Amino acid sequence: MIDWEGSLGYYIIGEDFGRIEDFKERGYAIIRCDASYKGGLGTCSISIETKNKAYKSTEKSFREKGSTRAELKSIYYSLMRLRNLNFNNVLILNDNQYAVSLVSGFFKPQTTREVCSKINKELKNSQKNIKFGLVRSKLNRKVDQSAKKQLRKYRKDQLEKYNERVKRVNCMITESQKHSCEKVNGGFSVITESGRKYLVSFDDLPTCNCYYWRKNWENKAEKIVKSKALPCSHICCAAEFSERDVFEIFEHQITGGIKL
């Protein structure tokens, strides 16, 4: 008979609730973790129980790319929670076979190297005997429902922030209609009602030499500008003059990098 569990490196629990109880009797702490994911946003829920005690569940919200990465994050946060808990033996249960295969070493990570590396580091530094088990979703229902509830709340919060950013950009567009613009060497010259001139460029990254842009974004790393910067009225004016869509230019910053 083939020893699948020995070959795979994890326990195949399925829907065998009795087997989980057996692990408890043997002194194992049982961690159930599950993630929910949609459009760049992920959440996870983690519950811990032993033979004699059930711990308060915890939830985490995060940005991620893909459902498997989100499940791996749930395992990573489970390991983080273990740091300050005095258990010798731990069984971590998850219902995503690919994620469990990755953390147990049966599969080699390709697109998930970063989070797998963090998990491996936690496992290496831990003094605990940590095992993994694959369960059917039925046995992880409580954390599954909790993660989904957390995701609905997280998406609602992000949608509110998105609407605030859209409102701000629309205000800048309205303000920009008071300006005039002309093309000059190196970009565009935007003239305000008071006669002040500001130089706007769309090379590589949108830039403006106004106080707002210099104060908030001039010395920031490119990745921060690409993720957080919103346009000033002068950039909006130059965008309209050059027939550019400011919402398209700042799409990532406005949406927060998520699919709403």
**Taking the CB of residue 199, how many other CB atoms lie within 10 A of it?**
17
In the structure, what pLDDT confidence band is assigned to residue 5 with cuts at 50, 70 and 90?
Answer: low
Look-up: residue for tokens 């949609």? 38
Tell me the sheet residues that pair with 59.
45
First to last CA, the chain: 49
Alpha-carbon torsion (204, 210, 215, 216), positive or negative: negative
Domains and their CATH numbers in the chain: 4-152 (3.30.420.10), 177-255 (no CATH)
Q: How many residues does the chain have?
A: 260
Name the phi and psi angles at 48, rounded to 5: -130, 135
Predicted TM-score (pTM) of this structure: 0.84
What are the residues whose beta carbons fall under 8 Å from the beta carbon of 154, sequence distance 6 or more? 41, 43, 61
Q: In this predicted structure, what is the pLDDT of residue 6?
A: 59
**Mean pLDDT (whole number) for 220-248:** 96
Question: Are the beta carbons of 10 and 134 closer than 8 angstroms?
Answer: yes
Taking CA atoms, 178 is separated from 78, 234, 240, in Å, by 54, 10, 12
What count of Cα atoms within 13 Å lies in the side-chain half-sphere of residue 241?
A: 23
Strand order across the beta sheet in which 180-184 lies: 180-184, 187-191, 197-201, 207-208
**Mean pLDDT (whole number) for 76-91:** 96
Q: Does 149 score more than 90 pLDDT?
A: yes
| Least confident span in 20-24, 103-107, 172-176, 226-230 | 103-107
Joined tokens for residue 243: 């027939």
Q: Is 55 helix (H, G, I), strand (E, B) or coil?
A: coil
- Rounded to an integer, what distance in angstroms lies between the CA atom of residue 211 and that of residue 195? 15
Mean pLDDT of the chain: 93
Q: Does 136 score more than 50 pLDDT?
A: yes
Q: In this predicted structure, what is the pLDDT of residue 7?
A: 61
